[in-house]
Amino acid sequence: MVSKRDLSLEEMQKVAKNRRFHNRCFVCWKKFGKGFHFHHLWYVEGEPIYTDYRNSVDYRIAVVPYIRKSPQQFLLLCTAHHRMVEWLAKMGAVKFRRLCKARRLTRIGKKI
């Protein structure tokens, strides 16, 4: 018997093969596999929101038709990069600019 989790992963894999997603993480280019997420770039009223569901499997099942309908509204991300994007999205603009500056300065200081 096939579980809901297996079905949702299978559906996500089909969607991930869309030309928009290249079956890879948008950031690191890791091939699609277990633990990947379709990240909403923006929400349209009436679309499923993760917090409305008791578990991730039910959410994934609900959101797949929306990904198929509007793939430009999503990014395919591995778990690590999805966490980073979510964390950075919550960061204020000033802190984000300082973080980017700190990263640039760190690269400049490295020996080549």
In the chain, the DSSP E strands lie at 37-40, 74-77
pLDDT value of position 2: 77
> Could you tell me the pTM of the whole model?
0.83
Please say whether the beta carbons of 57 and 5 come within 8 A. Answer: yes
| pLDDT band of 6, cuts 50, 70, 90 | confident
User: Which residue range forms the structural domain that includes residue 25?
Assistant: 4-108
Q: CA-CA distance, 60 to 102, in Å (whole number)?
A: 36
How many residues belong to the chain?
A: 112
| Three-state secondary structure call for residue 55 | coil
Q: Considering its fold, how many domains does the chain have in total?
A: 1
Q: Tokens standing for 15?
A: 């969607």
Please say whether the beta carbons of 105 and 97 come within 8 A. Answer: no
* Contacting residues for 31 by C-beta, under 8 A, at least 6 apart: 23, 24
pLDDT by residue (tens digit) across 47-103? 999 889 999 889 999 999 999 999 999 999 999 999 999 999 999 999 999 999 998
